[in-house]
Structure 1
């Protein structure tokens, strides 16, 4: 049984393939536990969130926070950023789709944005 609670308190589990990506129902359930700004791609293989700040310094702070989470969880997203905008996209490369790890990292981003 999948645990959908307290994602921000959980740790990512290394994934080297050999498992199936999350099905649509599970992905939607996990997505419902995140901030409403997280979106899922039409093929249910990726989640993403876009950020907009007042200036470059603030967006760099967000990117650095995401980099810290990525490093500590050993689960790395795609990040693009410009002067005051950024987009972070999570998916699990080894399974070419979504895993619980993607939602754990997204929940940690939500947690740190709140404080």
Structure 2
């Protein structure tokens, strides 16, 4: 079983094979609060105001760029919904890959560090 610490040590790479449903279930156990929704893993992050929300988006921007794995972000006044999927897997039809979980773990780590 994969752990959060293992995911934090990894880097995203080009993948052509998506994860199976069983694999997705195991990976979800390593990233607390993330859910499989409409073919993407997603999590809602709540904040006190718009400034804090945008600060979070800016904080994750560097990691997202460095990993070259870009989420869908829905930004509102006091929350940000982050959704990951991998477009290159399953013959270009998309799906969930390990890259999604690597970035989810790193987004969580950034949020925990900011909250400390």
Same-fold call, TM cutoff 0.5: yes
TM, length-normalised to structure 1: 0.86
TM, length-normalised to structure 2: 0.85
Any gaps of 5 or more consecutive residues in structure 2? none
1:70-104, CA deviations, whole angstroms, 9 ceiling, x for partnerless residues? 10101101011011111110000112100000000
How far apart, in 2, do the equivalents of 1:41 and 1:80 lie? 14
Q: How does 1:40-59 map to 2 (within 5 A)?
A: 40-41=36-37, 45-59=39-53
Find out whether 1:23 has 2:17 as its counterpart. Answer: no
Contact 2:60 2:110 in 1 (8 A): no
Any gaps of 5 or more consecutive residues in structure 1? none
Aligned Cα root-mean-square deviation (Å): 1.4
Q: Which runs of 4+ in 1 moved over 6 A?
A: none
Find out whether 1:39 has 2:35 as its counterpart. Answer: yes
Find out whether 1:67 has 2:65 as its counterpart. Answer: no
For residue 102 of structure 1, what is the aligned residue in structure 2?
100
